[in-house]
Amino acid sequence: MFYGVLYNKAEEFGLKIHAAGNVEDHVHVVVSIPPKMSVADCVRHLKGASAYAINHMPGSVDQFRWQGGYGALSVGGRSLETVVAYAARQKEHHADKTIIGAYEITDDETSG
């Protein structure tokens, strides 16, 4: 359900999701954003739509919230395949402790 909401919202705004993966406390989404949309607006739309959907699921107690911050990286064509593979295999990277630090930093962690 969560991923369906992401992909539907992406289609609505002309975004292309290349990959998405999650662990219990965060999600990675590799997305191409059209030039007319800011990164902040993209994140706001994806977070807002998914939080709304999660909070309106049967049995939900309407308390899900995303953290305030997010991390964003710009990648070129040669790096895209690597970043897509990393995002798609989040559970494996965290279980095996093979995370890439630069891909895990949020603005909450860099603003202190």
Using an 8 Å Cβ cutoff, are 1 and 57 in contact? yes
Residue 80, number of CB atoms within 10 A of its CB? 14
CATH number at residue 15: 3.30.70.1290
Q: How confident is the model at residue 110 (pLDDT cuts 50, 70, 90)?
A: very low
d(CA 28, CA 100): 12
Count of domains in the chain? 1
109 has pLDDT over 80: no
Range of the domain at 98: 2-110
Per residue in 17-63, pLDDT tens? 999 987 777 788 999 999 999 999 999 999 999 999 889 888 887 78
Q: Which of residues 48 and 87 earns the better pLDDT score? A: 48
Q: How confident is the model at residue 112 (pLDDT cuts 50, 70, 90)?
A: very low
Strand boundaries in the chain, DSSP class E: 16-23, 26-32
Q: Which residue, 72, 69, 94, 67, is CA-closest to 83? A: 72
Strongest mean pLDDT among 6-20, 64-78, 82-96:
6-20
CA triple 81-9-24, angle to 5 deg: 65
Residues comprising the chain, all counted? 112
d(CA 63, CA 51): 9
